[in-house]
Structure 1
Amino acid sequence: MTSILNQYQQPVGAPVPGWTPRAQPRRQPIEGRYCRLEALDPQRHAADLYAAYSQAPDERDWTYLSTGPFADADAYRAYAERAAVSSDPLHYVVIERKSGNAVGTLALMRIDPVNGVIEVGFVTFSPLLKRTPVSSEAQYLLMKHVFDELGYRRYEWKCDSLNAPSRQAAARLGFQFEGIFRQAVVYKGRSRDTAWFAIIDGDWPPLRAAFETWLAPENFDADGLQRLSLTQIRTTQAAGG
């Protein structure tokens, strides 16, 4: 990066002309081809979500989350009622279009409109959602909302540094690894070193194009299997293909 020098010949950051604080995320639905994101509503979503999470054979999906696992449907509903009234984190439900069922949640959090920074977190995808086009599209729809509709500059992903699946997911989705914050969090009685990842607005246009290519119907065969992976598409893009 070329340094910009001020009147004292000190290097300073690039100017951001016309910058104004960004809007807060909205609770309105976000529509996609395979899914729809809706603000969490316990009356409409809690039963579906608990049923979807109960498809897992064990409780390992909750290990690296600050919430859960939940003993029963009532315990999950009580959590959902608390989460639904929060504006930060702002929890979204992933509705699979094919079934009409709620199959997972994710949230926008640590919302900083003044600096245009926002984080995606509380990603809690059920077995009905994992490794499906719905899973990737849900992430894409929230990114698109943040960058294209709200105009934020930076989109973060943070996780326990020991959470290998989360780190792999971040890399696949196009987040760039930025480092480890040691002893950043205490949760569930444990110390957490936090791995930081981010996408910035300059990263977004080619990443958006890769998602749109991957999500296109022609990228899936008759059995719903991908022809090209998102990583393959991004690699081809980077090579100028």
Structure 2
Amino acid sequence: MAANITAKTPVSTSLTGRHVHLVPLTMDHLPDLFVAGGGDDEVWRWQGGPTPQTREELGAKLAELLQESERGEFVPFAVIHRDSGRTVGWTTYTAIDTVHRGLEIGWTWYGRAYWRTAVNTETKLLLLDHAFEELGMERVQLKTDHMNHRSQAAIARLGAQREGVLRRHRLRPDGTWRDSVYFSLVREEWPAARTRLAARLDA
């Protein structure tokens, strides 16, 4: 890709796989989202802020995300589990830089019943494939709390390379400091990573 060509700006769209369907996130998804993860401290442990204990509290988080998406800071997706038809979490594109052709996949959560299933693998496969093949991105990054070892292992299984740690990157709600562990995939790595992810889904 020539140096003077920018990537496409992500917009709300639908991406469909065998196990999940990603659609633009709206307030209509709130009832399913609360069933999937409302009140679950483990789901929200690393998301920042207190666990939403009521549908109204989760609705406030969702409304905040949608407001930020209107300002262009996020492109959020609802994650629909195709077998059940239920919304089981959300995920976003953020840190979008079309000039330098990069973005981040972040603020992702799923109901605990869907951890270590095909849901995360296929969600990331769809988002990565869209970023590299349709949007023309050269780099996709992911980051997580240095204490969130489950998330770090899940990102590594995608084939992403660990790049390093930003120390004292964010202040947690409890007053302690979070170091952020950064991972990335670049365009040249994507074909092999895609093959591995597709094989995991087939298995």
The two structures have a TM-score, normalised by structure 2, of: 0.92
1:190 is aligned to 2:190 = no
Unmatched runs of 5 consecutive residues or more in structure 1: 1-15, 220-241
Structure having the larger proportion of residues in helix: 2
1:114 alignment counterpart = 99
How far 1:61 sits from its partner (Å)? Answer: 2.4
Deviation for aligned residue 1:186: 1.7
Report the counterpart of residue 46 of structure 1 in structure 2. Answer: 30
Between the aligned partners of 2:64 and 2:95, the Cα distance in structure 1 is: 17
Q: Whose relative contact order is higher, 1 or 2, with alpha carbons under 8 Å and at least 6 apart? A: 2
User: Conserved in 2, the CA contact under 8 Å of 1:157 and 1:196?
Assistant: yes
2: CA distance, partners of 1:82 / 1:100: 25
Residue 187 of structure 2 is aligned to residue 201 of structure 1? yes
Q: Of 121, 141, 144, which residue of structure 2 is paired with 1:159?
A: 144
Quick check: which has more Rg, 1 or 2?
1
Task: Please give the residue correspondences for 1:92-111 in structure 2 after superposition, counting only pairs within 5 Å.
Answer: 92-111=77-96
Q: Report the Cα distance in structure 1 between the residues aligned to 2:3 and 2:181, rounded to whole angstroms.
A: 32
How far residue 97 of structure 1 moved from its aligned partner, in angstroms, is 0.8
Corresponding residue for 2:6? Answer: 21
Distance in 1 between the 2:49 and 2:26 partners? 18
Q: CA deviation at 1:18?
A: 4.4
Aligned residue in 1 for 2:66: 84
Alignment of 1:58-73 (within 5 A): 58-73=40-55
Specify which of 98, 106, 119 is matched with residue 134 of structure 1: 119
Paired residue secondary structure (1:128): helix
1:111 CA drift (Å): 0.6
Say which SS state the counterpart of residue 177 (structure 2) adopts.
strand
Structure-1-length-normalised TM-score: 0.78
Instruction: Report the aligned-residue RMSD.
Output: 1.6
Q: Secondary structure of 2:114's partner? A: coil
1:75-113 Cα offsets, whole Å, 9 max, x none, are 111221221231322211110111110001111111111
Kindly report structure 1 stretches of 4+ aligned residues shifted beyond 4 Å: none
The 2-side partners of 1:37 and 1:115 are apart by: 26
5+ residue gaps in structure 2? none
The number of equivalent residue pairs is 199
Q: Percent identity, aligned pairs only?
A: 29
Say if 2:43 and 2:112, in contact at 8 Å, map to a contact too.
no
